[in-house]
Amino acid sequence: MNTLHVVLAVAVALLVTACDQRSTGSAVAVSRFAQEGEGTVNSWIVEDSENLIVIDAQRSLSAGRDLADDIETRGKPLRAILITHPHPDHFGGIDAILERFPSTPILSSPLTQRIMQNDENGFIALTKQVLGSDAPEKQTIPTVTFEDGQELKWGEITLIADERGVGEADSMSIFLEPDEGFLFVGDVVDNGMTSFMMEGHTGQWLLQLRNIRTDYAAEDLVVFPGHGPRGDTSLFQEGIDILTWVRGAVGDRLNDGLNEREIDEIVELYEAAYPDRPAVAAVPNLMHENIRAVAKELSTN
């Protein structure tokens, strides 16, 4: 995965902060913190009148500091940081947030904690290589784990943890705010971007998406993805369509792998079918790498 080296490098140079503050009469408000540019990634700031939590913690220490600035201006105690899955673009800023808000509990599923602890896919080491001093010397891992179905509560904020297993990453946690109808899905889907398929589990991911679409069918749910603006449950069908399309395009051409011309051809067709979708990771030619990973996945199954 050499191309990943160049990765996140670009993403460090992100400049502008996007915020889509919601102002409603609800007890719980959600704001998006994201730095625009290639590889933009969301932290969702969830607050009631007296409590604040953050879901996902940015990719780099500098982005983590900017997020900490944002949290500080809100004047509420940071009660917890929740991590949706073990990809570094969602936790690389933890240590910078902890510098400002020491001893904040970091929560994840036991599996996400274990994968981070052992850096099982090498992504933490890779990110350190790419980001240098903008990545922590030693990544802080979650200090508290939640179980599948556990209800987490801070004042009026309730989140029900739902473990969905292997998908975009090896361990995917989603959270439902049942009173507000908010669903935080990490990278189960993104909104308007090109996904990261390089872990090569698109078959399981597709199954996961179909199950989530069924389990969370209510049309008025607000869906908060790991990348891109908030959306609704139609994002699940869109995710299914895209993964199905990619797997179909690869499968149709697959015999003894794919040659470069075939890969280029699929990328071109993808860009025509799904135009103007920036990459969720600053991997050069992410879609080419996705197609290689899917070809490998399909030929070993």
Residue 198 CB, nearest distance to Zn ion (Å)? 11
Residue 25 CB, nearest distance to Zn ion (Å)? 32
| Residues 38-57 contacting Zn ion, CB under 5 A | none
Residue 281 CB, nearest distance to Zn ion (Å)? 7
b/e code 40-78 from CB counts within 10 Å (16+ = b) = bbbbbbbbbeebbbbbbbbbbbbbbbbbbebbeeeebeb
Smaller CB separation from Zn ion, 158 or 171? 171
Smaller CB separation from Zn ion, 88 or 136? 88
Residue 27 CB, nearest distance to Zn ion (Å)? 29
| Residues 202-231 contacting Zn ion, CB under 5 A | 226
Smaller CB separation from Zn ion, 40 or 51? 40
Helix or strand holding residue 152 (H, E): strand 151-154
Smaller CB separation from Zn ion, 59 or 247? 59
Is residue 223 a contact partner of residue 213, using CB atoms and an 8 Å limit?
Answer: no
Residues 253 and 75: their CA atoms lie apart, in Å, by 56
Binding mask 98-127 for Zn ion (x = CB under 5 A): ------------------------------
Binding mask 230-269 for Zn ion (x = CB under 5 A): ----------------------------------------
102 CB neighbour count, 10 Å cutoff: 7
Residue 41 CB, nearest distance to Zn ion (Å)? 5
Residue 161 CB, nearest distance to Zn ion (Å)? 19
**Which residues, in sequence order, are CB contacts of 73 under 8 Å at separation 6+?**
none
| Residues 167-196 contacting Zn ion, CB under 5 A | 187
Smaller CB separation from Zn ion, 58 or 62? 58
Burial class (CB within 10 angstroms; exposed 0-12, middle 13-18, buried 19+) of 218: exposed
Residues 91 and 301: their CA atoms lie apart, in Å, by 31
Smaller CB separation from Zn ion, 28 or 206? 206
Region near Zn ion per CB under 5 A, out of 15-23, 56-64, 89-97, 209-217: 89-97
Using CB under 5 A as the binding criterion, the count of chain residues that bind Zn ion stands at: 3
89 scored as a contact of Zn ion (CB under 5 A): yes
Residue 30 CB, nearest distance to Zn ion (Å)? 18
Burial class (CB within 10 angstroms; exposed 0-12, middle 13-18, buried 19+) of 209: buried
Residues 120 and 282: their CA atoms lie apart, in Å, by 21
Residues written for the chain: 301
23 CB neighbour count, 10 Å cutoff: 6
Smaller CB separation from Zn ion, 11 or 258? 11
Residue 227 CB, nearest distance to Zn ion (Å)? 6
Residues 281 and 288: their CA atoms lie apart, in Å, by 13
Q: Which amino acid is at 180?
A: E
Residues 101 and 75: their CA atoms lie apart, in Å, by 12
Smaller CB separation from Zn ion, 30 or 83? 83
Region near Zn ion per CB under 5 A, out of 81-89, 122-130, 252-260, 269-277: 81-89
Nearest to 209 by CA among 197, 104, 87: 197
- Positions touching Zn ion (CB under 5 A) are 89, 187, 226
